[in-house]
Amino acid sequence: MWHTEFAVAFVLVAVSMLWTTIALRRMRRVSDPQGLPGRGLPLADAAFLAGGPTRVVDTVIVRMEREGRLVVSRDSTVTVTDPAPRDAVEAALIEAAGPARRQQLTALRRQTCASPAVQQIGDRLAARGLMLRPDLHRAVVRARRFWGLALLATVVLAVVSGFAWVDRVSTERDFSFPPFPAFAVLLIVGLVGLLATRPGRARITPAGRRQLSLMQQGSPWRPHDVAGDRTDQLLYGAVALGGAAVLTDEALREAMTARLAAATNGSTGFSGSDSSSSVIWCGSSGDSGSSGDSGSSGCGSSSSCGSSSCGASSSSCGSSSSSCGSSSSSCGSSSSSCGSSSSCGGGSSCGS
């Protein structure tokens, strides 16, 4: 009889449905629910939300360069002139610069992206429901893959049961209830459930998109948690929301957005064997819907933190031979506008 094959298929589909449902609930769970902070979001959080870890590092570099505590040369070499950090991210960047306080921008980005100080920003945003953790997103993807295999197994079992039933009809004249309706119902229910549990392609949640919209609408956004006059704050806000590509200081913009062909060697990359920190957030984060299941994104850096996609089975951000990406692309357009006579990266004012 075909009842045994149907029972196996039913168990496989039921287990995959339960697994996916649990994974989805874990991914969407908000552990620290709060209202939207509106335009009061801290600078580092805004940068991470708009462009991921890479955007945070670039914002810190621009801020330190503006304050005269860091120099970015035309060949994208970063030299720290003031080794006294003012926050945890700056401390991670200065440590990544090494004893010589000098490092190539790609290596500096990659190592700073992997630091706990930057990774915890993503954890904080995910806890507030503004972003989705990539590791939990990958868990949903794995569960849905198993679901798809369960449906494939159901088709195979249905075909085997169907041939067996036809054989009994032709040889034994056994006109018992055929297996096709039961398997068809199971497949339809399974397919509908699989389509209904798609985790989405964006790293940022609908609440996160609303938060970014609040900051990008109206007057140019400027953070109030960093020191500096209004011009500096407008500059930092523009870089956080739009990336280094919005800089009007041509030399700094070219150095920040240059794609370096050479990658640092050694084991400084995000490898799966690196147990020093739990690296789950890759070099660029999803925008309002552009990132794929792999976790990479068109919002923020033009490449992920590694040569492999962020959606790899491990929670690392790729290999050591790749960079943390360049912030050559922006997450939408920044609400701030720099007049033609002003220089965001220079001493002139940005905006009014």
Instruction: List pLDDT tens digits, range 183-237.
Output: 999 999 999 999 999 888 888 899 999 999 999 888 999 998 888 789 999 999 9
| Predicted pLDDT of residue 175 | 65
- Residues 30 and 318: their CA atoms lie apart, in Å, by 27
| % of the chain residues with pLDDT over 90 | 49
Q: Tell me: pLDDT of 36 over 60.
A: yes
Contact 240, 253 (CB under 8 A): no
| Predicted pLDDT of residue 174 | 61
Chain length of the chain: 352
* End residue of a domain, out of 145, 169, 196: 196
- Residues 313 and 324: their CA atoms lie apart, in Å, by 19
Q: Tell me: pLDDT of 159 over 50.
A: yes
Residue corresponding to tokens 């919209």: 213
pLDDT tens column, 279-300: 578 755 433 333 333 333 333 3
- Residues 234 and 256: their CA atoms lie apart, in Å, by 18
Owning domain of residue 347: 35-128+200-352
**Are residues 184 and 236 both part of a single domain?**
no
What one-letter code names the amino acid at 155? Answer: V
Number of domains present in the structure of the chain: 2
Q: Tell me: pLDDT of 325 over 50.
A: no
**Are residues 181 and 317 both part of a single domain?**
no
- Averaged pLDDT of the chain: 76
Arithmetic mean of pLDDT, 13-26 = 95
Name the pTM for this structure. Answer: 0.69
Arithmetic mean of pLDDT, 12-38 = 91
Arithmetic mean of pLDDT, 267-287 = 44
**Are residues 49 and 87 both part of a single domain?**
yes
**Are residues 171 and 217 both part of a single domain?**
no
| Predicted pLDDT of residue 8 | 94
**Are residues 153 and 73 both part of a single domain?**
no
**Are residues 17 and 79 both part of a single domain?**
no
Arithmetic mean of pLDDT, 310-337 = 36
Q: Tell me: pLDDT of 177 over 70.
A: yes
Split at pLDDT 50, 70, 90, the class of 275 is: very low
**Are residues 243 and 171 both part of a single domain?**
no
Q: Tell me: pLDDT of 92 over 90.
A: yes
Q: Tell me: pLDDT of 52 over 50.
A: yes
Residue corresponding to tokens 């209202």: 35
Arithmetic mean of pLDDT, 35-63 = 92
* End residue of a domain, out of 171, 196, 221: 196
| Predicted pLDDT of residue 312 | 34
Give the residue, 326 or 69, on which the prediction is more confident: 69
**Are residues 205 and 190 both part of a single domain?**
no
**Are residues 261 and 306 both part of a single domain?**
yes
- Residues 247 and 66: their CA atoms lie apart, in Å, by 12
Split at pLDDT 50, 70, 90, the class of 257 is: confident
